[in-house]
């Protein structure tokens, strides 16, 4: 698709997050629609390094910045990335979280619906929010709610489409012109919209969106930050909500006067942190709010996260993690087994954070979560590697063998069999997400753990 409205790629307008405004009083008489989605299993940032965004327990603070009567909270779907067991647990927890956070409507993608059915979440008791999904090609459910904006009755319609064909020729019950002015929000629910959308010229899509009076079209997210994809002066606000719950989108809706010009008028100023749009009836103000660490935690949601950690622990995911064999004859021996011949290196390591990396997880309550443990112990993904602290205490924490490879052959040969070169080991764990300070500062990190030149003499160890 050419032009500015490709979905999800295209000429992307970055929405620079504004400063956090949660504490400011609300001074508007419009409606605020909060949009979240594409959590992809991210319930809370890992906490490995500072500055991470996200966390379900921080959403309340953002939602509650607007009185309940003036807001609508909408989840757009893609709760988890797969139907693996841990993702099913996350799905349950997110579903529960949406209830506790007083979501009005939760849109489920095709995969979400399958999982929700499998987990029995759509049957009795019914969820405390409205569930919306594209049922089958061309068939959708509609969420409709009457709200008051500036003293006038307005209908909000939210509908999901699972194919461009459905967008172009929707079933007749969808988005019929109501008696009251209406805000129509379309959620595009395609697994991969690009090949489908490529068959449809942008013009045609815009025209069909405009013909429903669509104010806002939400595309699947392909980047972590929310994006506005709209071309100025044309069609509705087309946006994505970003991924991993790092931002919450805030769509402010107020009445705009019809005299103010054509179908759409782009009010966006160059370099501004937000996006303003005038449609036939309304003024829209789209902002992306970063879910920063400074936002207060909601205790009820924090409790729910602890419940998640317990479920993960009880499910034995750590024990049942799929493990691959080590190359023939090799085995992990644990850091203590290196001490007799490399005492200075051992002492240096033992005083480092690496040696206590599993304790950091215990403090966080995540020491039985394989998604965390994998980088905080020796060899969890290998047979003979870390299983649990009870079964393999010698492999707890980041040890010599995380960097030098399994030590058995080296020890049996009293050092004659070389270990694995360690230089490239760091980035397996010190990724941009888990260790934002690492890239570009590798030397400083290396200095902090340096131990190479201080080998102990046991007769055989040369200097």
Residues at the interface with ligand HEC (CB under 6 A): 46-49, 333, 335, 337-338, 340-342, 345-346, 349, 352-354, 356-357, 360-361, 364, 366, 369, 371-372, 374-376, 398-404, 407, 410-411, 414-415, 418-419, 422-423, 425-426, 428-431, 434-435, 437-438, 445-446, 448-449, 451-452, 455, 458, 460-462
Give me the residue label for tokens 């067991």: 85
Structural contact between residues 449 and 423, judged by C-beta atoms closer than 8 angstroms = no
Residue 36 or 335: the one with the smaller Cβ distance to ligand HEC is 335
Question: What's the CA gap between 102 and 132, in Å, rounded?
Answer: 15
Give me the residue label for tokens 């005299």: 259
> In angstroms, how far is CA 379 from the centroid of its own chain?
27
Task: Output the smallest distance, CB 82 to ligand HEC, in A.
Answer: 16
Structural contact between residues 2 and 200, judged by C-beta atoms closer than 8 angstroms = no
Residue 128 or 452: the one with the smaller Cβ distance to ligand HEC is 452
Task: Output the smallest distance, CB 224 to ligand HEC, in A.
Answer: 17
Task: Output the smallest distance, CB 42 to ligand HEC, in A.
Answer: 9
Residue 334, token pair as written in the block: 């644990």
b (16+ CB within 10 A) / e for 291-314? bbeebebbeebeebbeebbebbee
Burial label for 400, CB within 10 Å (0-12, 13-18, 19+), is buried
Instruction: Count the Cβ atoms, other than its own, within 10 Å of residue 463.
Output: 7
Task: Output the smallest distance, CB 14 to ligand HEC, in A.
Answer: 27
Sign of torsion, CA 141 142 143 146?
negative
Residue 216 or 403: the one with the smaller Cβ distance to ligand HEC is 403
Residue 234 or 376: the one with the smaller Cβ distance to ligand HEC is 376
> In angstroms, how far is CA 98 from the centroid of its own chain?
15
Residue 237 or 396: the one with the smaller Cβ distance to ligand HEC is 396
Residue 268 or 434: the one with the smaller Cβ distance to ligand HEC is 434
Q: Measuring CA to CA, how many Å separate 128 from each of 95, 96, 97, 101, 412?
A: 10, 9, 11, 10, 62
Residue 86 or 333: the one with the smaller Cβ distance to ligand HEC is 333
Residue 63 or 349: the one with the smaller Cβ distance to ligand HEC is 349
Residue 163 or 435: the one with the smaller Cβ distance to ligand HEC is 435
Residue 254 or 352: the one with the smaller Cβ distance to ligand HEC is 352
Task: Output the smallest distance, CB 304 to ligand HEC, in A.
Answer: 15
Task: Output the smallest distance, CB 302 to ligand HEC, in A.
Answer: 14
Residue 323, token pair as written in the block: 């493990």
Task: Output the smallest distance, CB 456 to ligand HEC, in A.
Answer: 9
Instruction: Count the Cβ atoms, other than its own, within 10 Å of residue 143.
Output: 22
Task: Output the smallest distance, CB 62 to ligand HEC, in A.
Answer: 22
Task: Output the smallest distance, CB 109 to ligand HEC, in A.
Answer: 24
Listed residue (280, 265, 222, 228) closest to 38, CA to CA: 222
What's the first-to-final CA gap in the chain, in angstroms? 64
Structural contact between residues 134 and 162, judged by C-beta atoms closer than 8 angstroms = yes
Rg (CA), the chain: 27
Question: What's the CA gap between 352 and 357, in Å, rounded?
Answer: 9
Task: Output the smallest distance, CB 247 to ligand HEC, in A.
Answer: 20
Please work out, in degrees rounded to the nearest 5, the angle formed at the alpha carbon of residue 314 by the alpha carbons of 127 and 128: 5
């Amino acid at each position: 698709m050419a032009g500015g409205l490709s979905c999800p790629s295209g000429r992307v307008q970055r929405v620079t997050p504004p400063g956090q405004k949660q504490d400011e009083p609300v001074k508007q008489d419009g409606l605020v629609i909060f949009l979240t989605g594409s959590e992809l299993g991210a319930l809370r940032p890992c906490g490995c390094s500072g500055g991470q965004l996200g966390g379900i327990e921080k959403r309340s603070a953002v939602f509650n910045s607007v009185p309940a009567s003036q807001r609508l909270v909408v989840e757009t779907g893609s709760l988890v990335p797969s139907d693996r067991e841990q993702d099913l647990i996350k799905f349950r927890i997110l579903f529960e979280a949406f209830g506790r956070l007083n979501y009005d409507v939760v849109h489920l993608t095709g995969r979400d619906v399958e999982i929700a059915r499998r987990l029995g979440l759509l049957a009795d008791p019914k969820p405390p929010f409205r569930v919306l999904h594209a049922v089958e090609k061309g068939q959708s459910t509609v969420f409709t709610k009457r709200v008051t904006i500036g003293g006038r009755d307005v209908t909000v319609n939210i509908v999901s489409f699972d194919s461009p064909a459905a967008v172009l020729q929707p079933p007749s019950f969808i988005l019929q012109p109501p008696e009251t002015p209406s805000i129509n929000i379309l959620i595009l629910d395609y697994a991969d919209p690009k090949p489908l959308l490529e068959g449809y010229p942008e013009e045609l899509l815009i025209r069909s969106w405009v013909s429903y009076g669509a104010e806002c079209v939400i595309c699947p997210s392909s980047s972590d930050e929310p994006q506005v994809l709209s071309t100025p002066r044309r069609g509705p606000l087309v946006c994505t909500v970003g991924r991993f719950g790092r931002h919450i989108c805030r769509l402010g809706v107020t009445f705009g006067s019809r005299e103010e010009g054509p179908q759409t008028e782009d009010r966006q100023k160059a370099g501004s942190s937000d996006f303003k749009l005038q449609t036939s009836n309304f003024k829209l103000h789209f902002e992306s709010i970063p879910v920063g660490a400074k936002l207060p935690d909601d205790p009820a949601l924090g409790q729910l996260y602890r419940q998640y950690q317990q479920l993960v622990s009880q499910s034995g995911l750590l024990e049942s993690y799929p493990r691959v064999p080590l190359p023939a004859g090799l085995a992990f021996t644990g850091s203590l087994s290196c001490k007799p011949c490399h005492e200075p290196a051992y002492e240096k390591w033992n005083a480092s954070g690496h040696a206590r990396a599993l304790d950091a997880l215990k403090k966080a309550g995540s020491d039985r979560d394989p998604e965390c443990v994998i980088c905080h112990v020796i060899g969890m993904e290998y047979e003979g590697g870390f299983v649990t602290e009870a079964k393999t205490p010698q492999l707890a924490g980041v040890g010599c063998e995380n960097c030098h490879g399994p030590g058995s052959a080296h020890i049996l040969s009293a050092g004659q069999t070389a270990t694995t070169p360690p230089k490239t080991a760091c980035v397996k764990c010190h990724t941009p997400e888990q260790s934002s300070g690492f890239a570009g500062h590798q030397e400083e990190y290396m200095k902090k753990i340096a131990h190479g030149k201080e080998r102990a003499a046991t007769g055989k160890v040369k200097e």
